Amino acid sequence: MKRDVRILLLGEPKVGKTSLIMSLVGEEFPELVPLRAEEITIPADVTPEKVPTHIVDYSETEQSDEVLREEIVKVRIFLILNEYNNSIKNGSLCCRRIPIILVGNKSDLRSGSSMESILPIMNQFSEIETCVECSAKNLKNISELFYYAQKAVLHPTAPLYDPEDKQLKLQCVRALSRIFSISDQDNDHILSDAELNCFQKLCFGNPLAPQALEDVKTVVWKNTSDGVQDNGLTLNGFLFLNTLFIQRGRHETTWTILRKFGYDDTLDLTDDYLYPPLRVSVGCTTELNHLGHQFLQKLFDKYDEETLSPAELKNLFSVLPYMPWGPEVYSNVSLSDDNYISQHGYFCQWMLSAYLDVHRCLEHLGYLGYPILMERESQTSAITVTREKALDLEKRQTQRTVFLCKVIGPRGTGKTDFLQAFLQRSTEVYFVCFQRNERDPGPPTIYAINTVSVANQDKYLILEEVDVETEFLKTADAACDVACLMYDVSDPDSFNYCASIYKQHYMDRGIPCVVVGSKADLIEVKQHHGMSPSEFCYKHRLPSPLHFSTLLTHTHTHIYSKLTWAIITLFSQFIYFCNINRVLTHECVRQVREVCSRPSCISEPVSHYCSDCIQHHVSRTLCNIHRADQRCLR
């Protein structure tokens, strides 16, 4: 809504412009009238709309055309005055696209009304909001005139309603349809009494009395054939009700609704609404928090209880001007047996969106009505900005639940298969499933996200596929929480890439790395690198290489758990001893075995561990677990 109102009075000399202004301010007709009144400012606290109002008088005898042009640039509305005993000339309508009120002054000199002479002009110029008969001498309609001027600026009719067709404009219909869809919380295409009262309270502060609610539905029922259904208001009924408000001069009611749902004077959602400021410092990440999860859960339940079909997904996002999730979503997340978006996959995709592009995620939440339905100032309350990673490492603890793993290796090593296996399917199955349903999701994307259970907690792990030939132009591109360096065990040149990437980007950066040999079902050949992958890992204190194959499904979960544990151990200092017996407990050993890729490292009875170790903990990174000069627990 505009922050001020600037009114410019125009008209022939001696038509009464100055008298109107002085009668408004002095509340009496002035005996002596100057050629032009100085600019008057009415403070916000004394106006009905609570905005400051500037009233400007123009006199062509005292002021030049240049001054008029300057005023036109600043003006919000014209008041064009004519005596009703003079004919109204079309030339008075001097500027298009700015609201106009025709003022018939000196009505005290004429008996009756001349509205019939005004209507043709009003129909000809859509900028004309209304016309008002008034008299500065009798103080007739003076206050009302300037109130209508304020109203025309702050709640314009032109964006909402076409007076010639006597119906809402298309953009207004679209905005109100979105509002109806958001308010229809059970997705039955009807606003029930409960939903109407919730809507009324949200927009106007108070629910409707039961009788008032019935009266509203009765009016709609009498004037429409399909406006009321099952004792509730349909979309057509909702649109009719707003049309009625406008036709009866209560367009401020419709504007109150529109602005509550984020719309500006051109019926576009404002940038302040869609893009609220959110500061994310270097080293911080963004995640959906419990409020975001709560909103998205309600949204999911509104359209289905288990899975979202393509049609249901389209309906869910129908309040957006575009489809935010393309075919790539089907390769990003796990799917149901019928290849629909499961509830788990739905939340994974939202987590991925919040992590990779939080501002676009905020935009989507805004379109979906998060601030309105959750009664929050903005959708930033759905997002948690995590603490800087460096501080987490210093404190040895983190509250983060979403982590990024970059899967790096030359083309043809099976990175795409590795990502799809994380979603518990093969790349071949991914394509076959969609061909069976006559849908083409396109090739798998470079992302996959799923949850991994670590120490009885679910963490979101994002895998990002990286081809070394095309990526890593900068060192910053290698940033992640853990790097998965993948080579093809059947290609003798494959490991060279991994070794080169590790030395160039990870050796001195403190980012944990895990080496994975893909295509483990094939015969392993000797790598042309100076050292074997095992020797390389031993030298650089990395965990022993893990092996992956799409044909050996039992290895999948094990590898993804190791990747997640590699991250968690950076932030945690585990205490693995019993304060009473001063020896390791069975639970501690179980957790260490889960971290350790060599279970044989812990084979002795629990009581044989040294009780002199007061604080046993997993080393800072997995690379220290298998150092030759120390035990697994040091």
pLDDT at 360: 98
Which tokens go with 328? 């790539």
Q: What is the C-alpha separation between 52 and 218, in angstroms, rounded?
A: 39
Per-residue pLDDT band for 621 (boundaries 50, 70, 90) equals very low
Least confident of 103-117, 237-251, 405-419, 484-498: 103-117
Which tokens go with 97? 């696209």
* Pair 311, 318: CB distance under 8 Å: no
Question: Is the fold of 5-154 the same as that of 167-268?
Answer: no
Which tokens go with 185? 């919380």
Higher-pLDDT residue of 107 and 580 is 107
Q: Provide the strand spans (E) within 334-472.
A: 341-342, 383-385, 402-409, 447-454, 457-467
pLDDT at 349: 98
Cα distances (angstroms) measured from residue 595 to each of 147, 469, 601: 73, 32, 11
* The 3-state secondary structure of 499-536, one letter per residue: HHHHHHHHCCCCCCEEEEEECCCCCCCCCCCCCCHHHH
pLDDT at 138: 86
pLDDT at 147: 87
- 212 has pLDDT over 90: yes
Tell me the fold of 402-566: Rossmann fold (3.40.50)
For residue 45, what is the DSSP state? G
* Residue bearing tokens 């031993």: 538
For residue 481, what is the DSSP state? S
Question: Rg for the chain (alpha carbons), in Å?
Answer: 35
Contacts of 58 (CB under 8 A, 6+ apart): 8, 9, 10, 17, 36, 67, 68, 71
* Torsion angle defined by CA atoms of residues 117, 118, 119 and 125, in that order, rounded to the nearest 10 degrees: 130
Q: Return mean pLDDT, the chain.
A: 83
- Choosing among 1.10.238.10, 3.40.1360.10, 3.40.50.2000, 1.10.260.40, the CATH entry for 272-386 is 1.10.238.10
pLDDT at 472: 62
* Pair 584, 609: CB distance under 8 Å: yes
167-268 has CATH 2.40.50.140 classification:
no
- 574 has pLDDT over 50: no
Q: What is the C-alpha separation between 501 and 493, in angstroms, rounded?
A: 14
pLDDT at 443: 62
pLDDT at 554: 66
Amino acid type, 293:
H
Give the distance, in angstroms, between the CA of residue 168 and the centroid of all CA atoms in the same chain.
28
Contacts of 398 (CB under 8 A, 6+ apart): 386, 387, 389, 392, 571
- 506 has pLDDT over 60: yes
Q: Over the stretch 478-489, which tens digit does the pLDDT of each residue have?
A: 899 999 999 999
Per-residue pLDDT band for 14 (boundaries 50, 70, 90) equals confident
Contacts of 267 (CB under 8 A, 6+ apart): 159, 160, 171, 172, 174, 175, 258
Q: What is the C-alpha separation between 418 and 518, in angstroms, rounded?
A: 8
Q: How many CB atoms lie within 10 A of CB 47?
A: 15
Q: Over the stretch 299-335, which tens digit does the pLDDT of each residue have?
A: 999 998 789 999 999 999 999 999 999 888 988 999 9
Which tokens go with 408? 């790096």
Per-residue pLDDT band for 51 (boundaries 50, 70, 90) equals confident
Work out the angle between the directed axes of helices 142-154 and 251-260 (0-180°, nearest 10): 30
Contacts of 606 (CB under 8 A, 6+ apart): 583, 584, 585, 586, 589
Residue range 128-155: mean pLDDT, rounded: 86
pLDDT at 249: 85
Residue range 131-150: mean pLDDT, rounded: 87
pLDDT at 432: 58
Highest mean pLDDT among 272-281, 469-478, 525-534: 272-281
Residue range 57-76: mean pLDDT, rounded: 86
* φ/ψ (deg, to 5) at 216: -60, -50
- 122 has pLDDT over 90: no
Q: In the beta sheet, which residues pair with residue 517? A: 487, 547
Domain ranges of the chain: 5-154, 167-268, 272-386, 402-566, 573-624
Reduced to 3 states, what is the DSSP secondary structure of residue 448?
strand
For residue 3, what is the DSSP state? S
Per-residue pLDDT band for 87 (boundaries 50, 70, 90) equals very low
Q: What is the C-alpha separation between 178 and 170, in angstroms, rounded?
A: 12
pLDDT at 34: 87
| Sheet containing 546-547: order of strands | 447-454, 457-467, 402-409, 482-488, 513-518, 546-547
Which tokens go with 587? 């639970």
pLDDT at 573: 53
- 188 has pLDDT over 90: yes
- Please tell me the CATH code under which domain 5-154 is placed: 3.40.50.300
CB environment 185-202: b (16+ within 10 A), e (fewer): beeeebbbbebbbbbbeb
Residue range 507-535: mean pLDDT, rounded: 91
Note every long-range contact of 594-599, with CB atoms under 8 Å and residues 24 or more positions apart, other chains counting. Answer: 594/561, 594/565, 595/565, 595/569, 595/622, 595/625, 596/625, 596/632, 597/543, 597/544, 597/546, 597/562, 597/622, 597/625, 597/626, 598/544, 598/625, 598/626, 598/632
Residue by residue, DSSP assigns 284-320 as --EEE-HHHHHHHHHHHHHH-SSEE-HHHHHHHTTTS
* Pair 354, 287: CB distance under 8 Å: yes
Q: What is the C-alpha separation between 369 and 260, in angstroms, rounded?
A: 10
Per-residue pLDDT band for 219 (boundaries 50, 70, 90) equals very high
Q: What is the C-alpha separation between 1 and 273, in angstroms, rounded?
A: 13
pLDDT at 295: 98
Per-residue pLDDT band for 428 (boundaries 50, 70, 90) equals low
